[in-house]
Structure 1
Amino acid sequence: MSVASMRRAARESVSGLPSAFWWLWASTLVNRLGAFVATFMTLYLTLDRGYSASFAGLVVALHGLGGVVSSLVAGVMTDRLGRRPTMLAANVSTGLSVALLGFMEHPAAIAAVALLVGMTSNASRPAVSAMMADIVRPEDRVRAFALNYWAINLGFAISSAVAGLVAEYSYLAGFLGEAALTLLCAVLVFLKLPESRPVKDAAAEAAAGPEVRLGTVLRDGRFMGVVGLSFLISLIFTQGSVGLPVAMGAAGFSPGDYGLVVAVNGVLIVALQIPVTRFIEHRDPQKLLVVSALLAGYGFAMTAFAGPLWAYALTVLVWTLAEIVNSPTQMGLVARLSPVHGRGRYQGMYTMSWAVAALVAPLMAGFVIDHLGAAWLWAATGVLGTMAALGYWLLMRGLPASGPGTAVLSGSGSGGAPATAEAEAKPVAAAAVAAGARPVEA
């Protein structure tokens, strides 16, 4: 490919998106650049503070539980108060609670504040995804979600490397650094992002029907099917940070070996997310989700046969391709199924599927590895991937091309453009922390 064609492809990948999207994208990148607590909590508690692995697992589990609780609450806030106020409240409270966590000494205080951090740090996700669906045209949403996911992974990759160096100097500096960057994210939201929540006029309110409540979401069978499939998929992907390090440690590999292998995931996402998304953007989402589920399940299942380090890296390559395809495609599907005036609640329910998986996956990995062996864990991922693929195939049969609502609403999306209401929206949840996973021994 020539330099000119590469430049043209890059321009096409980022063109046509509103300015508000890019400020939202920038806030996501800044937020993820400060991801210290989720990455280093276990090491901080065990190495720096001298607590047991069991206590560290409890604290990380409480952090995950906070995310489960806040997903639904934040979804309701996003619909009732608006996207911008929810993001501001979430980022400011996250910054303050993360800084507070760095000064906690008593075990009970550490556990309680970790729960609070989990709640606040997860609370912005439904609002971010709802705003993205508000301000981006339906035909551009897969690309927009992919770019946002790319920012998440780019920020996480940079923060992991920098935070590792910071942790060698001072863990407290890491906590304060995350707090500062999260508060900077709040400043960006306050200064640059207008509220995007669609405003109902009389005609739109009549067309929308009854108010969307959490019960409405739970009764939406097709959407709850997507939530269930998202849970299965996230159970698989979370094994990259939970089951894989434990299995590699048991096989005699060092933490450095695991770091090299799992780095393949971040590097590939940063390098391939945008070009792959350009390739899949207008292809059949049913086929993409089925194929990505199979790649995820059997990519992890291949780990059972990995011997040398390069073989582990090859398995990571396979399931990373699945992640690159699945993430924006599934978020686009969730957006299609979300009614305009219920995007926050729908986003919150979808976010919760990832948060619950972050709690269940470590327990699943620990139990299976301890009682049956790692090979059974990898076999289970193959089964889960097959189940998810079948589920996507069944769920999307006869799915209409448009979402549950089509109307132009009052209220601005980006840069004064009217916010469209073709009912499509939903979040992205990030990577799970190794809650309760045993540390990998050299």
Structure 2
Amino acid sequence: MRLPTGQRLPRTVWLLIAARAINRLGAFSLSFLTVLITTRFGASVATARLISAAFGLATIPSRLAGGRLSDRIGRRRTIVFGLVGCAVAQVGIAAADSLAVAAGFAVLLGLVFELYEPPSQAMIADAVGTTDRVRAYSLMNAALAAAGMGAGLLAASLGRWDLRWLFVADATTCLICALAVRVALPADLPAAHRLSEETAEVAPWRDRALMVMLASGTLFALIYLQIMIMLPLSLGQRGLQPADAGLLLTASALTIVAGQPLLRWKLVSALPTAAGFTSGYALLTLGLAGYAVAHTLGFFLAATVVWSLGDLLLMGRAYALVAALAPPAGTGRYMAAYGTSWGIAGIAAPLAGTQLLQHAGVTTLWITMATACLALSAIQPAIGRIVSARTSQPASTEYGAAPVSA
């Protein structure tokens, strides 16, 4: 049975989205971590990249810890702890007087950096019904995209003054976000203070359906990060300005924000989840194939709008489906397990992209990414059957049968 759609989202969801947007507004400092290390401490580029890689590696256990803490001590406590930890680490990097201290705080930042994500995603799942989760997660994605545009402007202004102030500004937004969460969001339930028997039995890594979602999500994350990393290099090899990638990514963010009303159109909201995934990956395929043949900024812009519409269909649906798979006591850990896809892709994407670009060229790079998207589009019905067979609960069988409304 389909539940009514188009209802107003709860206040908790809007507060989480607003707080996350504030935090994202300041989350531009990491792009300058290697620059700070090389300019302030005279380290080599290789050393700076090693420290950045250590940060990235630390985010994987950070996300897993966030899921466990979310289910054990409560959503709000975990969010506040993670944000305050990020603020401490950011200030530590800014105030560091040696390379060793800066590296230590960079690793600390990685260990607390992802604590926020699983409890915030779980809290959204707790606050809305299954039919509104796609819309709620899509709005979160849109808010992050919009805040990311403002973050670039702040980075451009503060970075000209002193790179250390970027980390101070980031720490400030973390503390503001933590305060907003602590004051405005509902308190954790008393039952969340202890690890119940039901929670102790949650084992996301043994859930076949979730592992299938993790595999496809990792491939999606790998493709998505190729766009973020390789687009500037691709523009340069096509005779365009690499800095124009900023314009293209801004256009992507605007498309995602402006496209939110589309998710409430009957034609889109009535799509079964499998069909929504298939359509999203098909649009990604078209957009990235456009990159393969583009030689003008206008063509790149058109391709960017197309794949961004695909992203609009995919992001909310993926998290809504994972939330539907999770047992009530394990939403945080399920979200954390699925979220490791981004950590894995973050390690693999720079290596795979640079090798493809260096040895095969721009056209082959984007044709390979488009082919991977096409494969993801083709296997969605099979994924739907696996997910539907996992459990007889209505929230999970919706993948292959009833639509999950936006």
Structure 1 residue 82 corresponds to structure 2 residue 74:
yes
Q: 1:385 matched to which residue of 2?
A: 373
Instruction: Write the distance in 1 (CA, Å) between the matches of 2:40 and 2:284.
Output: 35
Deviation at 1:44, TM superposition (A): 3.8
How far 1:403 sits from its partner (Å)?
7.5
Structure 2 residue aligned with 1:345: 333
- Partner Cα separation in structure 2 for residue 198 and residue 218 of structure 1: 27
Pairing 1:277–2:263 present: yes
1:275 deviates by: 1.1
Would you say 1:222 and 2:222 are equivalent positions?
no
State the 1:261 CA deviation: 2.2
Where do residues 178-257 of structure 1 align in structure 2 (5 Å cutoff)?
178-195=170-187, 199=191, 211-213=200-202, 216-257=203-244
Structure 2 unaligned spans of 5+ = 398-406
Distance in structure 1 (CA, Å) of the matches to 2:255 and 2:77: 35
Q: Determine what percentage of the aligned residue pairs are the same residue.
A: 28
**Cα distance, 1:252–1:318 mapped onto 2, change above 3 Å:** same
Choose 122-131 or 387-396, whichever is displaced more: 387-396
**For residue 105 of structure 2, what is the aligned residue in structure 1?**
113
CA gap 1:149/1:175 in 2 versus in 1, 3 angstroms: same
Match of 2:246 among 237, 249, 259: 259
1:93 to 85, 96, 103: 85
User: Residue 43 of structure 1: CA displacement?
Assistant: 4.3
Contact (CA 8 Å) 1:70, 1:120: kept in 2 or not?
yes
Query: Bigger CA drift: 149-158 or 255-264?
Result: 255-264
Give the letter for the 2:367 counterpart: A
What secondary structure does 1:242 align onto?
helix
In 2, distance between residues paired with 1:184 and 1:91? Answer: 9
Q: Provide the C-alpha distance between the structure 1 equivalents of 2:280 and 2:264, rounded to a whole number of angstroms.
A: 16
Residue identity in the other structure for 2:306: V
* 4+ long deviations beyond 6 Å: 401-404
Task: Provide the secondary structure at the position in 1 that maps to 2:371.
Answer: helix
Partner SS state of residue 31, structure 2: helix
Rounded Cα–Cα distance in structure 2 between residues aligned with 1:59 and 1:164: 23
Change (3 A) 1:53 1:270: farther
Helix, strand or coil at the partner of 1:239: helix
Match of 1:172 among 161, 164, 170: 164
CA distance in 2, matches of 1:34, 1:401: 43
Relative to structure 1, the CA distance from residue 76 to residue 68 in structure 2 (aligned partners, 3 Å threshold; closer, same or farther) is same
Separation in 2, partners of 1:382, 1:196: 44
1:127 to 113, 119, 123: 119
Counterparts in 2 of 1:147 and 1:173: CA distance versus 1, 3 Å = same
What one-letter code is carried by the residue in structure 1 that aligns with 2:311?
A: E
CA distance in 2, matches of 1:104, 1:295: 45
**If each structure's helix is expressed as a fraction of its own residues, which one has the higher value?**
2
Q: Does 1:290 align with 2:278?
A: yes
TM-score (norm 1): 0.81
Show the counterpart of 1:431: none
Distance 1:326 1:366, change over 3 A: same
CA distance in 1, matches of 2:391, 2:79: 25
Q: How many residues align?
A: 388
Q: Which range moves more in the overlay, 98-107 or 344-353?
A: 98-107
- 1:21-170 matches, within 5 Å, as 21-45=13-37, 51-170=43-162
> Partner amino acid for 1:325?
L
- The aligned residue for residue 367 of structure 1 is 355
Kept in 2, the 8 Å contact 1:27–1:185? The answer is yes
Go from structure 1 to structure 2 and tell me whether the alpha carbon gap of 1:389 and 1:423 turns closer, same or farther (over 3 Å shift). Answer: closer
Using a 3 Å threshold, how does the CA distance of structure 1 residues 220 and 46 change in structure 2: closer, same or farther?
same
In the alignment, which residue of structure 2 is the partner of 1:302? 290
**Which one is further off, 244-253 or 149-158?**
244-253
Give me the whole-angstrom Cα distance separating, in 2, the residues matched to 1:370 and 1:238: 17
From 314, 317, 323, the counterpart of 2:302: 314
1:114-146 CA deviation, whole Å, 9 max, x = no partner?
A: 222122121110010011111112221111111
CA contact (8 A) 1:63 1:114 kept: yes
CA contact (8 A) 2:387 2:396 kept: no
In 2: Cα distance, 1:50 partner to 1:317 partner: 41
Shift of the 17–43 alpha-carbon distance from structure 1 to 2, 3 Å rule, reads same
CA shift, 1:402, in A, is: 11
Query: Residue by residue, what CA displacement relative to the aligned partner does 1:358-390 show, whole Å, maximum 9, x if unpaired?
Result: 111111111222223232221220221122123
Correspondence for 1:415 = none
Aligned equivalents of 2:31, 2:368: Cα separation in 1 = 26
Distance apart, 1:250 and its partner CA: 2.9
**RMSD (Å) for aligned C-alpha atoms:** 2.6
Query: Would the aligned equivalents of 2:84 and 2:178 in 1 still touch at CA under 8 Å?
Result: yes
